[in-house]
């Protein structure tokens, strides 16, 4: 990601001002240090090197396919298809395939990894290659429905299919790309009249940096909650690669928002602190020229910023850091990255007016949720105020008395501004925007930001969750924050019920891992205009295992 000389000078100046430049950058003229061919990586190579030293070794487990299946249309199924058993995997040995024929193997659960299988020719001779189309399915629709014509807004190259040509038979094929799948559909495009193909030994070589076994929930949890926990852990496991990926099917990169939730789930389960630390260094290595962190980072072929900037994600970086220091006890890393975290808040707070009210900037992406009609103003104010409260906790932990004093004053001001601007006393809920929109997101974030006490927060949540006109979330990411808000208000039973009703609905609909988006009323919902590009194993969906390990959750 090459920058102009002027941009590089601004970048270096920001790094030095933040206290993270090298001693040579502090001592010498910045322009002399950069040079015409300088890149951001040269300015941040120390963080990248540290992150690379923390890169984990992936553990590989080979797992055989279990069954042959066939998809059957089912209007009563949320995903519109169900899988029926067609035969044992051993029965594949007796079948022969020529052009135009196909079959689907089922691995019995979600896998992130590589595929291998054998092909044996049966016939007179192999006078031509065999050409195959192989489609990888996280859910039945991936292998039951045609992927084309594709109508999505993301690159068609992410669609989970390959056409391969195998020249010499017999042969064991190991496909070089990593995939996310439960089902694999094999279509024979071409052989020759001289032979047919016999397939066998289908293996998924699953990879993950998760190593520790996680104790199952105690018997006091219902069977439904224990299954939700299992799917949650599988989701986190399959997203734990050499970074905490957002999804192993698509994007396959590190995002601040996903990392925050993955890290919380990880602290309650696999406890891989080094992977969190690696991700913190990678995200810190690529600030914009003004010091604001990019929302995501490409890991390969070499670490670099992906170019997206999300206002709420930048604000939440300090929360990720605070969680890490709290859980790991690693104050050294906390101190090293503290200035970067503070700087994110300083940049975001430039959008506050004289009363401490956020005036949402127009030139940056505010995410909050994929809900297209959501009015973001109240939620974003809540995110920033929440982040300042987490920064205050970290400032106390790191003995930054100057920050403690400044943050206490600003937090009080922002909280008062939020109560005055967003709280509707007559409805007992928070509203947002000129049309005074009522949404679950506004309630959750302003409650988490501590704008009202527990009683008022519980009332607001009850009101909005019983209001059919209130704007609901469409992602597990936002539902996580609703559950968090319920717990913050002491509404443990309601929090458990929401986990059962929302994540539990995905389990009932066949989820082996939790999905990127889920609206129980719309099975075809996609932020990208084509459900086939959706991720069905997504990092921000993994947090039930975190909630279900909250001490005293069930009140016992």
Asked if the domains 59-208 and 243-547 are classified in one and the same CATH topology, the answer is: no
Which of these ranges, 157-166, 223-232, 280-289, 453-462, has the smallest mean pLDDT?
A: 280-289
CA–CA distance, 471 with 464 (Å, rounded to integer): 9
Secondary structure of 107-161 in the HEC alphabet? EEEEEEEEEEEEEEEEECCCCCCEEEEEEEECCHHHHHCCCCCCCCCCCHHHCCE
Torsion of CA 76, 78, 81, 87, to 10 degrees: -100
Sign of torsion over alpha carbons 141, 147, 152, 156: positive
Residues in the chain: 556
Burial class (CB in 10 A: 0-12, 13-18, 19+), 35: exposed
Joined together, the tokens standing for residue 525 give 């919902």
400-451: pLDDT as tens digits: 999 999 999 999 999 999 999 999 999 999 999 999 999 999 999 999 999 9
Cis bond upstream, residue 149 (ω within 30): yes
Asked if 109 contacts 234 with a C-beta cutoff of 8 angstroms, the reply is yes
Q: Check residue 211 and give its pLDDT.
A: 87
* Planar angle of CA 460, 350, 16, nearest 5 degrees: 130
Longest dimension (CA), the chain: 85
CB 65 within 8 A of CB 89: yes
CATH topology of domain 59-208: Jelly Rolls (2.60.120)
| Residue keyed to tokens 């995200």 | 283
Alpha carbon distance 80, 77 (integer Å): 5
Tokens of 369: 């949720």
In the chain, what are the domain boundaries?
5-43, 59-208, 243-547
Domain 243-547 is found in CATH 1.50.10.10? yes
* Tokens representing residue 21 in the block: 């430049």
**Distance (Å, whole) CA 39 – CA 7:** 10
Query: What number is the average pLDDT over the span 301-328?
Result: 96
d(CA 183, CA 69): 9
Query: Rounded CA gap, 304 and 364, in Å?
Result: 20
> How far, in Å, CA of 345 to CA of 407, rounded?
10
Residue-wise DSSP of 263-326: HHHHHTTT--HHHHHHHHHHHHT-B-TTSPBPSEEE-SSS-EE----BHHHHHHHHHHHHHHHH
Cβ atoms of 67 and 87 within 8 Å: the answer is yes
What pLDDT, on the 0 to 100 scale, is given for residue 40?
43
Confidence of residue 136 (pLDDT cuts 50, 70, 90): very high
Q: What is the mean pLDDT of the chain?
A: 92
d(CA 459, CA 152) in angstroms, rounded, equals 40
Cβ proximity of 172 and 117 under 8 Å: yes
Pairing verdict, β 254-255 and 195-208: unpaired
CA 253, CA 241: separation in Å to the nearest integer?
10
The whole-number pLDDT of residue 21 equals 41
CB atoms within 10 A of CB 270: 21
- Is the pLDDT confidence value at 51 over 60? yes
What is the pLDDT confidence band of residue 3, given thresholds at 50, 70 and 90?
very low
**DSSP state letters, 468-482:** TTSBPP-SHHHHHHH
Structure tokens at 309: 């900037």
Alpha-carbon span 337 to 281, nearest angstrom: 8
Q: Which residues contact 86 (CB under 8 A, 6 or more apart)?
A: 67, 68, 69, 70, 103, 104
Distance CA 240, CA 403 (A): 34
What percentage of the chain reaches a pLDDT higher than 90?
88
Q: Indicate the pTM of the whole model.
A: 0.92
Is residue 292 within 8 Å of residue 365, measured between CB atoms?
Answer: no
Kindly write down the DSSP assignment for every residue of 518-547, as one continuous string: -BTTBTT--TTS-GGGS-SS-GGG-THHHH
Q: Quick one: how many helices (H) and strands (E) in the chain?
A: 18, 14
Report the percentage of the chain scoring pLDDT > 70: 92
pLDDT band of residue 11 (cuts 50, 70, 90) is very low
DSSP character at residue 362: S
Return the structure tokens found at 366.
Answer: 């505010």
Q: Is 22 exposed, middle or buried (0-12, 13-18, 19+ CB in 10 A)?
A: middle
Tokens for 28? 């010498």
Question: Residue 502 is inside which H or E element, if any?
Answer: helix 492-508
Please state, in angstroms and rounded to a whole number, the distance separating the CA atoms of residues 276 and 280.
Answer: 6
Q: Does pLDDT of 508 surpass 70?
A: yes
Residue written as tokens 């071409």? 190
**Cβ count near 499 (within 10 Å):** 24
Confidence of residue 44 (pLDDT cuts 50, 70, 90): confident
How far apart are alpha carbons 84 and 323 in whole angstroms?
A: 45
The pLDDT tens digits for 358-412 are 998 888 899 999 999 999 999 999 999 999 999 999 999 999 999 999 999 999 9
Tokens of 306: 């992906």
């Amino acid at each position: 990601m090459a920058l102009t000389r002027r941009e590089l000078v601004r970048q270096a100046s920001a790094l030095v001002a933040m206290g993270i430049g090298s001693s040579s950058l502090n001592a010498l003229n910045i322009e002399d240090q950069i040079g015409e061919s300088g890149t951001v990586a040269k300015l941040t190579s120390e963080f990248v090197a540290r992150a690379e030293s923390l890169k984990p070794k992936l553990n590989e487990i080979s797992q055989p396919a279990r069954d042959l299946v066939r998809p059957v249309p089912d209007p009563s199924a949320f995903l519109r298809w169900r899988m029926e058993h067609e035969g044992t995997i051993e029965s594949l040995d007796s079948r022969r395939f020529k052009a135009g024929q196909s079959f689907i193997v089922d691995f019995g659960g979600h896998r992130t990894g590589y595929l291998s299988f054998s092909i044996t020719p049966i016939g007179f001779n192999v006078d031509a290659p065999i050409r195959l189309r192989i489609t990888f399915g996280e859910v039945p629709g991936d292998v039951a429905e045609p992927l084309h014509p594709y109508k999505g807004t993301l690159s068609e190259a992410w669609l989970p299919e390959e056409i391969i040509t195998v020249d010499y038979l017999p042969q064991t094929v190991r496909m070089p790309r990593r995939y996310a799948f439960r089902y694999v559909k094999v279509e024979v495009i071409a052989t020759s009249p001289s032979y047919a193909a016999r397939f066998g030994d289908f293996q998924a070589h699953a990879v993950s940096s998760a190593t520790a076994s996680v104790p199952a929930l105690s018997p006091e949890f219902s069977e439904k909650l224990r299954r939700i926990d299992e799917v949650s852990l599988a989701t986190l496991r399959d997203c734990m690669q050499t970074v905490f990926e957002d999804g192993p099917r698509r994007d396959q990169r590190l995002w601040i928002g996903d990392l925050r939730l993955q890290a919380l789930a990880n602290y309650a389960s696999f406890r891989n602190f080094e992977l969190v630390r690696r991700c913190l260094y990678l995200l810190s290595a690529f600030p914009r020229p003004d010091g604001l962190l990019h929302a995501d980072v490409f890991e390969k072929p070499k670490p670099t910023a992906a170019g997206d900037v999300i206002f709420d994600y930048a604000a939440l970086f300090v929360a990720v850091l605070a969680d890490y220091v709290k859980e790991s006890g690693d104050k050294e890393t906390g101190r090293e990255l503290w200035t970067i975290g503070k700087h994110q808040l300083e940049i975001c707070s430039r959008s506050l007016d004289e009363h401490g009210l956020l005036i949402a900037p127009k030139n940056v992406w505010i995410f909050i949720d994929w809900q297209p009609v959501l009015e973001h103003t109240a939620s974003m104010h809540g995110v920033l105020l929440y982040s300042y409260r987490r920064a205050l906790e970290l400032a106390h932990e790191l003995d930054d008395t100057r920050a403690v004093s400044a943050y206490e004053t600003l937090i009080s001001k922002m909280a008062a501004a939020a109560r005055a601007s967003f709280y509707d006393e007559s409805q007992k809920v928070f509203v947002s925007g000129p049309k005074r929109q009522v949404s679950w997101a506004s309630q959750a974030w302003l409650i988490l930001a501590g704008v009202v006490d527990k009683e008022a927060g519980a009332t607001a949540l009850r009101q909005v969750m019983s209001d059919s006109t209130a704007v609901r979330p469409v992602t597990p990411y936002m539902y996580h924050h609703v559950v968090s808000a319920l717990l913050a208000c002491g509404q443990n039973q309601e929090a458990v019920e929401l986990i059962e009703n929302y994540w539990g609905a995905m389990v009932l609909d066949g989820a082996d891992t939790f999905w990127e988006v889920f609206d129980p009323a719309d099975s075809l919902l996609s932020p990208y205009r084509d459900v086939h590009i959706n991720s069905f194993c997504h990092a921000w969906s993994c947090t039930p295992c975190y909630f279900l390990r909250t001490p005293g959750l069930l009140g016992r």
